[in-house]
Structure 1
Amino acid sequence: MFLRVASALLLAVCAAPVLAQTQDCDPAKGCAQGLTAPQVFAIAERYAAAKRFADAETLLKGLTHDPNDDYRAEARFRLAALREAQGDKQGAIEWLKTLLDEKPDAGRPRLELARLLAATGDESGARRELRRAGAAGLPEDVARVVDRFATALRSSRTIGGSIEVAIAPDSNINRATTQERVDTVVAPLTLSRDARATSGVGFSLSAQGFARGRITDRIDLLSRASVRADLYGKSQFNDVVMTLASGPEFRLDAARVRPAAIAQRRWFGGDLYSESFGGSVNVLKPLNQVSQVEGELTLLQSNYARIPAQDGLLTDLNVAYDRAISPRFSVRVGGRVTRQDAKADFLSTDSVGVDLLASRAFGKQLGFIQLSGFRLGAKGKDPLFGVTREDKRFDVTLGLILRRFTWRGLAPLIRVIHSESDSTIPIYDFKRTRVEFALSREF
């Protein structure tokens, strides 16, 4: 109900007039020569009112190639409305995205996009578009409507998910040292070939799905499942993680709170590596029209199949701040603190990290850069190496999403990741460069 109310309010306060200009149409495309663009819009509107949607779309698609960018934008906006009128919300979303690729400061289309994303279950996407609209600047009366919309925003979709598949050349698939021999308190140790840096080409699959059930007006039951698999020709390096989470989702004014029970399993080289059970609490709170903060606390009891001395409680707290600088440029700054307890002191670790993500749209392309760094320290000396483990790690990721070449909802993605780890224990020293050529889709 709130989506329909918000839509009506947004349409009422944001409507804009269209200017006149002469436009010739190709008769082969269903247009008549000598009509002005406003006349074509008027004919298309009559066709739409008579439910002759195909004829209306033919006329409007002709205007998407008009030299006047205002007419192109108006045609795409009306095409989005026609798609929605026929029940094709995803088609409407694509037309609005195409409009905003050319006119990122267009307020009404971006607010309509936020509404449609919310209606299709993409709450995070809807919040992102509202922040971008706020960064472009909104009249005071429109801003008040948007604030009410953001406060009431919740996903109405009962089922959905996303998938990403990638081919990934990797210089160090096992994140291992290049050294052949390392010193220990007993004697120099010669590492096996599998214990040293190994390059390869992998296949990666990442998939997430969710199901939501309404409990009350303010509470949903949200269940999620995800799997991440990195598979190689050398099966001893295959890494698969599966996670299940379920719990209520509360809406408290503008904040969203998600406590959940979690079960996780990880397999490495085809064998069970670890099992984890516990829970998490996620809180998301918009701060104003252009920013939000999100935090999550996770507690997991992890049990390791081959290293029982590593069994213990994982405690992780991360907080992230998102801000839209402009309709095309946004940033995310995050911090994380993690403690991994274990039966053996030298396997117990504390770590702290920071993360910076910046993204910029270039027409139909989206480029991003992510910088991450963290320090890790163990609680006791490693008995084999005679020193306490201390790691410093730095990661840089560059990526480009090529929406121009989207095919059947699959968007191409190129991602380059470079990692360097410096440790007091040589087996944790490594450098790694990974290139991913991926296709991703939300559904």
Structure 2
Amino acid sequence: MMRAAGALALAAAVSAPGAQAQTLLDRCVAQTCKARLTPDQLLGEVQALIAAKRFDEARPMLAALQQLPDRRFETRYLTGMLAAETGDHATAIAQYQAILADDPGQTRVRLELGKAMLLSGRPQSADRQFAIAQQDADLPPDVARTIRTVRDVIRSQRAWSFDFSAGIAPDTNINNATSADQITVDFGGIPIPLELDDAARARSGTGLTATASAGLRLPIAKATTMLVDLDATGTNYDGADYDDYQLQAAAGPEVRLSPKSSVSVQAVGAQRWFGGDVVSRQFGTRIGMQHGIGTRGRLGIQLDVRRTDALFDDGYDGTQAGLFATYERAVAPTLVASAGLFGRRDWLDQPAYSSKEGGFTLGLGGAMPLGINFGLSGTVSRAIYDAPIALFSPKPRKDWRYVARATFGNSKIRVLGFSPQIGWTYTRAESSIGFFDATRSRFTFQLARYF
């Protein structure tokens, strides 16, 4: 019922008023009727027949329209409209997605795609499309209000999401080792240079990688929803020495304070395996706040506090706390820019491992013509440790850290619903202690699908 009501509301909001035009068939009174139509006239005939729900009569004219290469957009759109009107939502979705792959700025098409997804039982996917369409500053006020109402209804209902990707990952530093060939140790105030053997240096390799993310929203009271999130990622290399797997689960309520603001509190648990062994477990709390600013901006603040049990070294046991603030703004209907600040504090059992870190991040992402979607981001941070490591220096360690990420995908290419995606992550640590200098470059070539 919710799906049908929401779709009908959207249909009413985006449809133009006015009487239906008389078609050529209505004007044809002879038993045999012939006419020579221009492309624009043929297009008008198909539109009028679909509006009048005379689908059988529209199909042969739509087939004729498909023979005109310069009318590809109109043909796809009307094919999608005809399919949607006859209940073939899968075909409608495919046609609308093909249009948006070439021109992601077609807001009307995106609304029709969201409506078709809603009617086909995919509310989370529909909500993504409505969220993008909502960024269009040229939306008529009544359409914008209807989108907000439909999105509120979607969020108030039981909904789930699931994203999955898998592929290969060439990596220049699978053991996350130092980039130095030699180090200097402090022996009674005397610096002694030492050569590192091959086992202590960075090792490259290519692994099989996969990520999965699932979410569930369960309404439990008015304006209150239970959030359940599960994230898993892993990379398998030849042999088990550097296999890396991580699993995280979070659950807790989200309360909507207003149409634009919400607060959530979740219990969080995480575990990591490396080299075939469990290396750490974490338990804690995550508190988040989101607030919409105007029609295009959103501010998010998150506090994450966890207790870490490090099974590989008791010195890394302790408490970690991080505060993150991010502002996102749609600079175009399909392009989002973001900026964030963060601070983190580690209180660990070994003071030399305890640290404080602060930094900022910038990002840009969205969809482009030809089906290309992308994401670019960069992070710079400064970390200062509480106490020195006597083996290396009488002074506490200080690091500069740099991270750059880029992802590119193509939604026009689909294999069983999966699309190709290429990612690159570069990390660089410049430390006051040479042993902790490290450089890592990791590529991923994946097939991804968002359910």
Task: Give the shorter-chain TM-score range.
Answer: 0.7 to 0.9
Q: Tell me how far apart the structure 2 counterparts of residues 343 and 149 of structure 1 sit (CA, whole Å).
A: 51
| Cα 1:79–1:235 shift into 2, 3 Å | farther
1:199 corresponds in structure 2 to: 204
Contact 2:377 2:404 in 1 (8 A): yes
370, 375, 381: which one aligns with 1:368: 375
Q: Tell me how far apart the structure 2 counterparts of residues 151 and 322 of structure 1 sit (CA, whole Å).
A: 20
Q: Tell me how far apart the structure 2 counterparts of residues 192 and 356 of structure 1 sit (CA, whole Å).
A: 38
Contact 1:364 1:403 in 2 (8 A): yes
1:379 corresponds in structure 2 to: 386
Counterpart code for 1:205: A
Q: Tell me how far apart the structure 2 counterparts of residues 344 and 193 of structure 1 sit (CA, whole Å).
A: 28
Q: Tell me how far apart the structure 1 counterparts of residues 412 and 67 of structure 2 sit (CA, whole Å).
A: 16
Residue 138 of structure 1, CA deviation: 1.7
Residue 178 of structure 1, CA deviation: 2.8
1:26 corresponds in structure 2 to: none
Residue 234 of structure 1, CA deviation: 4.2
Q: Does 1:437 align with 2:445?
A: yes
1:11 corresponds in structure 2 to: 11
SS at match of 1:126: helix
Counterpart code for 2:110: R
Contact 2:80 2:91 in 1 (8 A): no
Matches within 5 A, 1:132-211: 132-149=133-150, 154=155, 156-186=157-187, 187-211=192-216
Q: Which has the larger radius of gyration?
A: 2
For residues 120-147 of structure 1, the C-alpha deviation after alignment (integer angstroms, 9 at most, x for no partner) is 2427x73574355433422233334344
Residue 167 of structure 1, CA deviation: 0.6
Name whichever of 140-149 and 289-298 sits farther off.
Answer: 140-149
Residue 41 of structure 1, CA deviation: 4.3
| Cα 1:68–1:329 shift into 2, 3 Å | same
Counterpart code for 1:181: Q
| Cα 1:37–1:115 shift into 2, 3 Å | closer
Contact 1:274 1:305 in 2 (8 A): yes
Aligned length: 426
1:331 corresponds in structure 2 to: 337
Q: Tell me how far apart the structure 2 counterparts of residues 197 and 271 of structure 1 sit (CA, whole Å).
A: 20
Contact 2:226 2:251 in 1 (8 A): yes
Counterpart code for 2:108: R
Q: Does 1:417 align with 2:425?
A: yes
2:71 corresponds in structure 1 to: 68
Residue 156 of structure 1, CA deviation: 3.5
Residue 383 of structure 1, CA deviation: 2.1
1:29 corresponds in structure 2 to: none
Contact 2:300 2:325 in 1 (8 A): yes
- The TM-score normalised by the length of structure 2 is 0.83
Residue 345 of structure 1, CA deviation: 1.4
Counterpart code for 1:375: R
Q: Tell me how far apart the structure 1 counterparts of residues 264 and 200 of structure 2 sit (CA, whole Å).
A: 40
Q: Tell me how far apart the structure 1 counterparts of residues 112 and 318 of structure 2 sit (CA, whole Å).
A: 48
Q: Tell me how far apart the structure 2 counterparts of residues 425 and 76 of structure 1 sit (CA, whole Å).
A: 64
Residue 116 of structure 1, CA deviation: 5.8
Q: Does 1:81 align with 2:112?
A: no
Matches within 5 A, 1:301-380: 301-360=307-366, 361-380=368-387
Q: Tell me how far apart the structure 2 counterparts of residues 379 and 316 of structure 1 sit (CA, whole Å).
A: 17
Contact 1:151 1:253 in 2 (8 A): no
SS at match of 1:245: strand
Q: Tell me how far apart the structure 2 counterparts of residues 188 and 371 of structure 1 sit (CA, whole Å).
A: 34
For residues 289-334 of structure 1, the C-alpha deviation after alignment (integer angstroms, 9 at most, x for no partner) is 1121222211110011121121111111112222111123221222
| Cα 1:362–1:106 shift into 2, 3 Å | closer
276, 281, 288: which one aligns with 1:282: 288
Identity %: 25
Q: Tell me how far apart the structure 2 counterparts of residues 430 and 251 of structure 1 sit (CA, whole Å).
A: 43
Name whichever of 212-221 and 366-375 sits farther off.
Answer: 212-221
1:251 corresponds in structure 2 to: 256
Q: Does 1:394 align with 2:402?
A: yes
Matches within 5 A, 1:18-97: 36-42=42-48, 63=65, 66=68, 67-68=70-71, 71-72=74-75, 74-79=77-82, 81-82=84-85, 85-86=87-88, 88=89, 92-97=92-97
Q: Does 1:120 align with 2:122?
A: yes
Q: Could you list the runs of 5+ residues in structure 2 that have no partner in the other structure?
A: 25-33
Q: Tell me how far apart the structure 2 counterparts of residues 357 and 58 of structure 1 sit (CA, whole Å).
A: 48
Name whichever of 324-333 and 263-272 sits farther off.
Answer: 324-333
Q: Tell me how far apart the structure 1 counterparts of residues 22 and 387 of structure 2 sit (CA, whole Å).
A: 76
SS at match of 2:186: coil
For residues 21-66 of structure 1, the C-alpha deviation after alignment (integer angstroms, 9 at most, x for no partner) is 99xxxxxxxxx996723334455567x678x8xx977875774664
Q: Tell me how far apart the structure 2 counterparts of residues 228 and 74 of structure 1 sit (CA, whole Å).
A: 38
1:241 corresponds in structure 2 to: 246
Contact 1:57 1:82 in 2 (8 A): no
- The TM-score normalised by the length of structure 1 is 0.84
SS at match of 1:279: strand
